Amino acid sequence: MIPGEEKQLAEFLAGKSEQTLMLFNYFITHFNNLGDIIVEPTKTMIGISNSNKRIAWITQLGKNFVHVVFPFKQEYPDNLCFQKIAQVPDQNQFNHHFRMYFPDDINEEVLSYMAMAYAEEK
Protein backbone atom coordinates (compact mmCIF):
# COMPACT_ATOMS: atom_id res chain seq x y z
CA MET A 1 0.00 0.00 0.00
CA ILE A 2 1.25 3.49 -0.82
CA PRO A 3 2.03 5.66 2.24
CA GLY A 4 -1.11 7.46 3.33
CA GLU A 5 -3.41 4.84 1.79
CA GLU A 6 -3.36 2.79 4.99
CA LYS A 7 -4.81 5.80 6.82
CA GLN A 8 -7.35 6.31 4.04
CA LEU A 9 -8.37 2.63 4.24
CA ALA A 10 -8.74 2.96 8.01
CA GLU A 11 -11.06 5.92 7.39
CA PHE A 12 -13.22 3.76 5.08
CA LEU A 13 -13.44 1.08 7.75
CA ALA A 14 -13.98 3.42 10.72
CA GLY A 15 -17.35 3.01 12.39
CA LYS A 16 -18.28 -0.13 10.44
CA SER A 17 -19.94 -2.99 12.28
CA GLU A 18 -17.96 -6.00 13.46
CA GLN A 19 -19.91 -8.07 10.91
CA THR A 20 -18.89 -5.80 8.03
CA LEU A 21 -15.24 -5.69 9.11
CA MET A 22 -15.17 -9.47 9.42
CA LEU A 23 -16.69 -9.84 5.93
CA PHE A 24 -14.25 -7.32 4.45
CA ASN A 25 -11.24 -9.11 5.95
CA TYR A 26 -12.60 -12.51 4.92
CA PHE A 27 -13.07 -11.34 1.33
CA ILE A 28 -9.60 -9.76 1.13
CA THR A 29 -7.99 -12.89 2.64
CA HIS A 30 -9.68 -15.12 0.06
CA PHE A 31 -8.66 -12.84 -2.80
CA ASN A 32 -5.10 -12.74 -1.46
CA ASN A 33 -5.05 -16.56 -1.45
CA LEU A 34 -5.35 -16.41 -5.25
CA GLY A 35 -2.22 -14.29 -5.53
CA ASP A 36 -0.77 -10.98 -4.44
CA ILE A 37 -3.29 -8.16 -4.48
CA ILE A 38 -3.14 -4.46 -3.82
CA VAL A 39 -5.95 -2.89 -1.80
CA GLU A 40 -6.23 0.76 -2.86
CA PRO A 41 -8.71 3.20 -1.38
CA THR A 42 -10.00 5.88 -3.74
CA LYS A 43 -12.30 8.78 -2.93
CA THR A 44 -15.48 6.72 -3.00
CA MET A 45 -14.54 3.03 -3.03
CA ILE A 46 -11.81 0.48 -2.45
CA GLY A 47 -10.03 -0.94 -5.48
CA ILE A 48 -8.46 -4.37 -5.62
CA SER A 49 -5.70 -4.86 -8.17
CA ASN A 50 -3.34 -7.56 -9.26
CA SER A 51 0.09 -6.52 -10.56
CA ASN A 52 -1.44 -5.40 -13.90
CA LYS A 53 -4.81 -3.76 -13.36
CA ARG A 54 -7.88 -3.22 -11.21
CA ILE A 55 -9.77 -6.51 -10.92
CA ALA A 56 -12.56 -5.62 -8.47
CA TRP A 57 -14.09 -2.74 -6.57
CA ILE A 58 -15.59 -2.73 -3.10
CA THR A 59 -18.25 -0.12 -3.64
CA GLN A 60 -20.17 -0.33 -0.40
CA LEU A 61 -19.55 -1.38 3.18
CA GLY A 62 -23.06 -1.65 4.63
CA LYS A 63 -24.23 -2.45 8.16
CA ASN A 64 -24.04 -6.18 7.52
CA PHE A 65 -22.66 -6.64 4.00
CA VAL A 66 -19.86 -5.89 1.57
CA HIS A 67 -20.78 -5.01 -2.02
CA VAL A 68 -18.21 -5.91 -4.69
CA VAL A 69 -18.16 -5.19 -8.42
CA PHE A 70 -16.14 -7.38 -10.79
CA PRO A 71 -15.45 -5.77 -14.20
CA PHE A 72 -15.41 -8.49 -16.85
CA LYS A 73 -15.03 -8.25 -20.63
CA GLN A 74 -18.19 -10.27 -21.19
CA GLU A 75 -21.44 -10.98 -19.43
CA TYR A 76 -21.69 -14.14 -17.32
CA PRO A 77 -25.47 -14.45 -16.90
CA ASP A 78 -25.57 -18.13 -15.91
CA ASN A 79 -24.72 -17.78 -12.22
CA LEU A 80 -26.27 -17.77 -8.78
CA CYS A 81 -24.00 -15.21 -7.14
CA PHE A 82 -24.40 -11.91 -8.99
CA GLN A 83 -27.41 -9.78 -8.14
CA LYS A 84 -26.94 -7.52 -11.16
CA ILE A 85 -24.90 -7.39 -14.35
CA ALA A 86 -24.64 -4.09 -16.21
CA GLN A 87 -22.69 -3.13 -19.29
CA VAL A 88 -20.71 0.09 -19.07
CA PRO A 89 -22.08 2.33 -21.87
CA ASP A 90 -19.94 2.34 -25.02
CA GLN A 91 -17.43 -0.08 -23.52
CA ASN A 92 -16.70 -3.78 -23.64
CA GLN A 93 -17.03 -4.03 -19.85
CA PHE A 94 -19.73 -5.80 -17.88
CA ASN A 95 -19.89 -4.99 -14.18
CA HIS A 96 -20.97 -8.01 -12.14
CA HIS A 97 -22.37 -7.03 -8.72
CA PHE A 98 -21.86 -9.37 -5.77
CA ARG A 99 -23.19 -8.72 -2.27
CA MET A 100 -21.67 -10.69 0.59
CA TYR A 101 -23.70 -11.10 3.80
CA PHE A 102 -22.04 -14.19 5.27
CA PRO A 103 -18.59 -15.81 4.97
CA ASP A 104 -20.30 -18.79 3.31
CA ASP A 105 -21.31 -16.49 0.43
CA ILE A 106 -17.76 -16.99 -0.84
CA ASN A 107 -18.47 -20.43 -2.23
CA GLU A 108 -16.90 -22.35 -5.11
CA GLU A 109 -18.82 -20.32 -7.69
CA VAL A 110 -17.71 -16.97 -6.26
CA LEU A 111 -14.14 -18.24 -5.89
CA SER A 112 -14.14 -19.23 -9.56
CA TYR A 113 -15.16 -15.70 -10.57
CA MET A 114 -12.57 -14.21 -8.22
CA ALA A 115 -9.94 -16.42 -9.87
CA MET A 116 -11.13 -15.32 -13.32
CA ALA A 117 -10.90 -11.69 -12.27
CA TYR A 118 -7.42 -12.23 -10.85
CA ALA A 119 -6.29 -13.97 -14.05
CA GLU A 120 -7.99 -11.22 -16.07
CA GLU A 121 -10.51 -13.68 -17.55
CA LYS A 122 -7.90 -15.95 -19.10
The answer to whether 59 and 65 have CB atoms below 8 angstroms apart is: no
Q: What number of other Cβ atoms are within 10 A of residue 32's Cβ?
A: 13
Inform me whether the pLDDT recorded for 9 exceeds 90: no
pLDDT tens, position by position, 83-118: 999 999 999 999 999 999 999 999 999 999 999 999
Looking at residue 71, what is its pLDDT? 97
Inform me whether the pLDDT recorded for 56 exceeds 70: yes
Inform me whether the pLDDT recorded for 122 exceeds 90: no
DSSP alpha helix (H) spans, 1-122: 5-13, 18-34, 108-118
User: Higher model confidence: residue 57 or residue 4?
Assistant: 57
Looking at residue 5, what is its pLDDT? 56
Looking at residue 1, what is its pLDDT? 47
Inform me whether the pLDDT recorded for 53 exceeds 60: yes
User: Higher model confidence: residue 57 or residue 6?
Assistant: 57
